[in-house]
C-alpha cells in the first residue's frame, strides 16, 4: 500500500518525480484537506431578485415600431400598496418628431407630461401624485401618445423602466 492510500493526511508528495525524473525531497505535511473541513464556508457576494416588504422591483417595457404594429400594450401587475419611485426611458433609436409615450398605473398617468421619444438618450420624467396602488393589484401599462409611430417610417426603439417598491 502506498503512503497516500494508507493515510491521505500525511502524504507529502515525495512519490511524485520532479521534472528531471528524480524523486522529489519530502515536503511538509499538507494543510487541512477539504474532506475534513466541517461547518459553513463563506461564499462571497450573491446576486438575485429581492422579494418581500420594501423590495424594489422593475418593470421594463420594450417599445419598437415593429412591436407596435403587431401587438397591443403590455401589462404588468403591480402588487397592492406599492409605490412607483422612478421612471426611466432609454431611447436607443429615435422615433418621429411628435412621438411620445406615457406610463400609466390603473389608467392614471405617472408622469407630469408626455415623454418624447424623438431624441436619443435617457429621460427621467417627474412623477405625478397618482403613483401608489390601492388595496388590490393594479395594471401598469405604457401607452403611445403620438399617432405617427407606425406611419412615419422611422425605425425607433426604446425601453421604459418603471421602478416601484412593494409595501
Range(s) within the chain of domains with CATH label 2.60.120: 56-165
Task: Transcribe 42-57 into DSSP letters.
Answer: ----------STT-EE
What grid cell was written down for 157?
A: 426603439
**pLDDT tens per residue, range 42-58:** 554 544 555 666 778 88
3-state secondary structure of 159: strand
Higher pLDDT, 167 or 38: 167
- Number of other residues whose CB lies within 10 A of the CB of residue 116: 19
Confidence of residue 76 (pLDDT cuts 50, 70, 90): confident
**pLDDT tens per residue, range 10-42:** 555 555 555 665 555 555 555 555 555 566 655
The answer to whether residues 116 and 102 touch, using CB atoms and an 8 Å cutoff, is no
Instruction: Look up the pTM and report it.
Output: 0.64
What's the CATH fold of domain 56-165? Jelly Rolls (2.60.120)
Q: How much is the pLDDT for 44?
A: 47
State how far the Cα of 19 lies from the Cα of 24, in Å rounded to an integer. 9
Amino acid at each position: 500500500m502506498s503512503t497516500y492510500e494508507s493515510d491521505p493526511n500525511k502524504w507529502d508528495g515525495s512519490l511524485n518525480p520532479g521534472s528531471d525524473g528524480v524523486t522529489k525531497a519530502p515536503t511538509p505535511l499538507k494543510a487541512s484537506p477539504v474532506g475534513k473541513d466541517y461547518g459553513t464556508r463563506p461564499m462571497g457576494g450573491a446576486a438575485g431578485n429581492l422579494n418581500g416588504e420594501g423590495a424594489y422591483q422593475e418593470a421594463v417595457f420594450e417599445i419598437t415600431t415593429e412591436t407596435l404594429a403587431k401587438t397591443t400594450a403590455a401589462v404588468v401587475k403591480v402588487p397592492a400598496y406599492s409605490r412607483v419611485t422612478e421612471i426611466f426611458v432609454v431611447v436607443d433609436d429615435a422615433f418621429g418628431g411628435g412621438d411620445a409615450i406615457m406610463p400609466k398605473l390603473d389608467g392614471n398617468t405617472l408622469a407630469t407630461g408626455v415623454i418624447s421619444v424623438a431624441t436619443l438618450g435617457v429621460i427621467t420624467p417627474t412623477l405625478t401624485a397618482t403613483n401608489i396602488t390601492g388595496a388590490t393589484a393594479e395594471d401598469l401599462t405604457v401607452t403611445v401618445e403620438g399617432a405617427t409611430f407606425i406611419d412615419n417610417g422611422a425605425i425607433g426603439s426604446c425601453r421604459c423602466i418603471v421602478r416601484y417598491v412593494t409595501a
